[in-house]
Amino acid sequence: MKRLFLVAGELSGDNHGAGLMRALLDADVDLQLGGLGGSQMRAIAPAIDDWLDEAAVLGIWEVLKKYGYFKAKMEETVARIEAEQPHAVVLIDYPGFNLRLAQRLRDGGYVGKLIFYISPQVWAWKKGRVKTMAKLLDRMICIFPFEKELYENSGLETVFAGHPLVDSLVKKKRDDIERDEDLVALLPGSREREIESLFAPMVGAAIRLRGNRPGLKFATAAANSALEKRMREIAAEAGLDDLEFAEGGVHVLMQQAGVGVVASGTATLEAAYFGLPYALVYRVAWPTYAIGRMLVQVDFLGIVNILAGREVVRELLQGQASAESIGDELERLLDDRAAREKLQADLAETVAQLGGGGAYRGAADAVIDAAFASTIS
């Protein structure tokens, strides 16, 4: 029996892990899958230990508070892998735990393959970590094309499998939707912190725009009912009483709106995929931002601009994420059809770099090739 041990420690990793597992079983049914993950992975393979309630913590302080738990889980996981002797261990993102696990396994003499899927963003924060990963890992499977060269330059065998987001969004693309040039999308993100920080200036920009364009409509989408309630309160306090909440969800709105403003994150890549002309906004506490700017080693914050190597989408960061600046950029896009069309063409060209679909199957093929290239008795 061919055996793989997978490790994911966050909700996104569980999602990617499940997609990878389905593709693995489609490619080779003679596989025994086990490891650590979440409910989605466990639904595919009962030998997956669902530990997300404990593992999915954010922030250094939260991790330190659970140091004892993670130490014990590391010992348990190393012992389990040594006992089961899988042909390969597939580490899915979650670098804080997974790279320590890789080091422990190598130090302990594990002879199977160590494969990393969904590269940690070392290209933004810790490029020096690439050399360490090259010594520990047998293969990196990345989802952004520029990551391949970065890892291969350090001697780590790397495969670009494509971005899974393309596979999920292609099913949501609608040919029956036409853009409404008078509809503006206000998309502040899906976290409470983002709503509190970014939605008020977005609404303020809408109020300013309507002063010159009374026919404009504004719409948004909320991740849950609690956030929707808070967003309605913010809009009502500012006087934007006719704010719409998209019935079809955020992906439909991204295809309906003429222009939009989007909080930094995955949504900016989704908006790019759907061809929404937009501005990116980002705001955190100033100490956090200052420390981040000292550590980050890229010229842009938005992944679309990082992929393009230039500012395709206007980035309004910190103090620039104001009602005035957001309003000015939206007004520029509303006024200039040529600018909108140029932006849409640039977005399409950039998104094309992510591959044409089949990302999980590509990753599964890369795992199988690395894990079972030699004949297994």
What is the per-residue pLDDT for 301? 79
Tokens coding 175: 């040919």
Q: How far apart are CA 170 and CA 164, in angstroms?
A: 10
What is the per-residue pLDDT for 55? 85
- Name the residue among 234, 280, 289, 284 with its Cα closest to residue 260: 280
Cβ proximity of 186 and 257 under 8 Å: no
Radius of gyration of the chain (CA): 22
pTM: 0.86
Q: Around Cβ 19, how many Cβ atoms within 10 Å?
A: 21
Cβ proximity of 366 and 88 under 8 Å: no
What is the per-residue pLDDT for 62? 65
List, for the chain, all residue ranges whose pLDDT scores fall below the cut of 50.
375-377
Pairing of strands 2-8, 278-282: unpaired
What is the per-residue pLDDT for 361? 97
Angle at 79 between CA 76 and CA 84, to 5 degrees: 120
Cβ proximity of 6 and 92 under 8 Å: yes
Cβ proximity of 340 and 277 under 8 Å: yes
Phi, psi of 36 (to 5 degrees): -125, 140
What is the per-residue pLDDT for 376? 45
Tokens coding 357: 């679909």
What is the per-residue pLDDT for 186? 98
The DSSP 8-state label assigned to residue 198 in this structure reads: I
Phi, psi of 193 (to 5 degrees): -60, -40
**Each residue's pLDDT tens digit, 223-235:** 899 999 999 999 9
Cβ proximity of 292 and 219 under 8 Å: no
- Name the residue among 29, 373, 299 with its Cα closest to residue 146: 299
Tokens coding 50: 């669902």
What is the per-residue pLDDT for 127? 66
Q: Phi-psi bin for 206: left (phi > 0), alpha (psi -120 to 50), beta?
A: alpha
